[in-house]
Amino acid sequence: MYDLNDAEPLRSGEIIPDGTFAKVTMTIRPGGVDGPFETDKGLLKPSGSAESDVLSLDCEFTVVDGPHARRKFWHLFTVSGGKIDEKGASVGWNISKRMFRGMIDSALGLDPTDMSDSAKAKRQLRGLADLGGITFIAKIMVEASDRYADKNRLERPVLPNEKEWPLVMEGKDVQPSPSPRKKDSKPAQTPAAGQPAWQQSANAPAPAVAAAPATTAAPAWRQSAAPASAPAAAQTSGPAWLNG
């Protein structure tokens, strides 16, 4: 006999309110294409269009606690390809790098202005796979669509120097704060023909992530079950789970 009483009830399909602040955990859904580093074999997702060279990191976010606990949403981060800037670098990748740095600062309670050797070391990755399992404070947006149902996406990580960060960390309710945006605004993932940058030539701009740290140890957010409860600026010894 199947007992379905312990199954989670079906949800009505409602989305998380625009501008919601919540603690989330990110997992990576491998897309089958190798990244440039050993840790990222089979990690990246192609665009699905023969005319696009965009490779992305396909991420799933799960709300950890609060009124929206266990709710999920998804986000694609461009890793290479697409529109390039005047320096020949992928515009989408530059945006993704800023988001990833924000996740790390949020997860570890790092002051975003802290450029000490210790802080810089914590922002280094062996590969993008190191971001799997990171838990941080997020601001969640609603992406409107004229053709499909509206959906949630990650607007940005919330940094430790923002007033909402400690409140969410402490489990307190924070009122949603929708950001003003144009109705026709869309994610910056402009496709372009060709192969991923690192496959084109030795002179092409590579989608380089930060240089790997000297140690091969797992990233800090995998060394403990709980994120920091206060900004690093107030903790000279670093987030608690890094001390043992």
Query: 88-134 pLDDT, tens per residue?
Result: 999 999 999 999 999 999 999 999 999 999 999 999 999 999 999 99
Closest CA to 109 of 155, 161, 42: 161
Residue 219 is predicted with a pLDDT of 80
Is pLDDT above 50 for 12? yes
User: 90: number of CA atoms within 13 Å, CB side?
Assistant: 35
Question: In the structure, what pLDDT confidence band is assigned to residue 209 with cuts at 50, 70 and 90?
Answer: very low
* Cross-strand bridge partners of residue 137: 23
**Which value, to the nearest 10 degrees, does the dihedral of the CA atoms of residues 116, 93, 154, 30 take?**
-110
SS3 17: coil
Residue 146 is predicted with a pLDDT of 86
Residue type, 237: S
Q: In whole angstroms, give the CA distance from residue 188 to residue 78.
A: 9
SS3 58: strand
Q: In whole angstroms, give the CA distance from residue 211 to residue 242.
A: 21
**Contacts with 157 (C-beta within 8 Å, 6 or more apart), sequence order:** 99, 102, 103, 105, 106, 136, 137, 138, 139
Question: In the structure, what pLDDT confidence band is assigned to residue 228 with cuts at 50, 70 and 90?
Answer: low
Residue 198 is predicted with a pLDDT of 42
**Contacts with 225 (C-beta within 8 Å, 6 or more apart), sequence order:** 241
Is pLDDT above 80 for 183? no
Is pLDDT above 90 for 226? no
Residue 1 is predicted with a pLDDT of 81
Q: In whole angstroms, give the CA distance from residue 194 to residue 204.
A: 12
Residue 155 is predicted with a pLDDT of 97
Is pLDDT above 70 for 232? no
